[in-house]
Chains A and B, each alone.
Chain A
Amino acid sequence: MVLDVNWAVRWLTLCAQAMAEHRVWLIELDRAIGDSDHGENMDRGFQAVLEKLAEAQPETPGAALKLTAMTLMSKVGGAAGPLYGTAFLRASTALGDAAEIDPGSLADALVAARDGIVARGKAESGDKTMVDAWTPAAEAAQAAVADGTGTVLGVLVAAAEAAEAGAVATDPLVARKGRASYLGERSAGHRDPGAASSALILRAAVGAAA
């Protein structure tokens, strides 16, 4: 499996599909502890990404991710816009203008994306935010590369599985960042919508490479 621009476009297309399919679920998660716009915003944002990709026809994975970053920051509207926008932008910068992504640079890009989210949102692990999906994902990707057996698909699967486990693990947490933090103890018992959508995005990356 080669991670080139075609993979990147497939990934973003699958992201858009996942957001459309899970729109209502994300809205319900966000209604419980936020302002119930996350599903709507993510769906709209990724639909706009598809339009931009069709128009601009990027030539490298990095270019496709940069276009995604700018579009999400302009179209999502809520906090997810600048957060995911920064994640995709930093990943794009990490990948540079390489035509294909190797396992090491894939892990570096995932770490850069996580670092971007942390820098922008100033959340830490355990705050019940998307960081709780991205930090385990970035660490699992690095571990998959470190043991020497990691293929790009192996790195993507490790990241997606860790993100999914991280998202599930936000259920009992009390939110310390974002709109949900206003609810205090009452935010426990609900999955964080940002962690949930992060897991969908990283699962889509596997689907695009399978």
Chain B
Amino acid sequence: MTVRLVVVSHSEKIADGAVELAAQMAPDVVILAAGGTADGRIGTSLEKVMSALDQAAGGDGVVVLTDLGSAVMTAESALELVEEPAGVLLADAPLVEGLVAAAVAAQGGADVKAVKRAAEAVYGLGPDVAVASPVLAASTVTEGSVTGPGPDFTGDFELVNEAGMHARPAAKIAGGLASLNAEVMVNGVDGASMTSLMILAAGKGSVLHIEAWGPDAERALNYVGGLVQAGFGEP
């Protein structure tokens, strides 16, 4: 059983296209589209959203992703009307990036709150933040006051596949880590966040420095290292 996803967009094509894109990276996750109005116009329809929520019920919870203004309001209205609102969470995230991140997390077996977090973690990961976070991490380490104990396992692995770190490898790493009880940092960013991994923009020949904490730290390190050394199964 996995968390299921519902996409609410003003446009049927956007909703269907986003579902198609996310399904490529998360083939086992149920993702339902509720785009456009019932008569095929641009807009959102409570009927369509309620029907998608109905079909999505019965799993381990539902995370809803939306696009602009009235899509959010229609989704919120639907949440007021569903029979079991507790298992349905509305993610405040960019539709496409948030959906892909949520789908990867759901594919990896994350629970409903973690799937919502994965979607929302996409926010604020612009280039500025990506550049700033390793610097921040370094300064706290030298002061040695705020950080916890060092990682349980570390390793360095060179990217050998032609395309380096792109969407599919990032999805594989983040997706697999979601089901392990470990905190993993890859070159200073959260290894469970597909978007953070992509923002590393690490090409072929780059070295990934992996740090892992927690009960599954060794497995997590072996998992990531194995994927990288195998070139993610790519040329």
Contacts and interface: CB of A to CB of B under 8 A. Distances in A.
Given A178-B69, A179-B69, A78 B43 contact: yes
Nearest to A90: B80
Interface in A55-74: 70, 73-74
A73 B38 contact: no
A81 B38 contact: no
B74 interface: yes
Given A41-B43, A73-B46, A74-B47, A79 B37 contact: no
Q: In which size bucket is the chain A interface?
A: 20 to 34
Contact of B73 (A37, A89, A121, A179): A121
Interface string A72-110: 011111110111011001000000000000000000000
B45 A82 contact: no
Interface string B37-62: 11001111111100000000000000
B70 A85 contact: no
Interface residues of B, number: 17
Contact of A81 (B42, B44, B76, B80): B44
Contacts of A82: 44, 46, 70, 73-74, 76-77
B70 A86 contact: no
A166 to B, nearest CB: 21
B70 A81 contact: yes
A120 interface: yes
Interface of B: 37-38, 41-48, 69-70, 73-74, 76-77, 80
- Which 7 pairs show the lowest CB-CB distances between chains A and B? A77-B43, A73-B46, A82-B73, A79-B70, A74-B47, A77-B37, A74-B46
Interface of A: 37, 41, 70, 73-79, 81-83, 85-86, 89, 120-121, 178-179
28 contacts: A74-B45, A74-B46, A74-B48, A75-B37, A75-B38, A75-B45, A76-B43, A77-B37, A77-B44, A77-B45, A77-B70, A78-B43, A79-B69, A79-B70, A81-B44, A81-B46, A81-B70, A81-B74, A82-B73, A82-B74, A82-B76, A82-B77, A85-B46, A89-B80, A120-B73, A120-B76, A120-B77, A121-B73
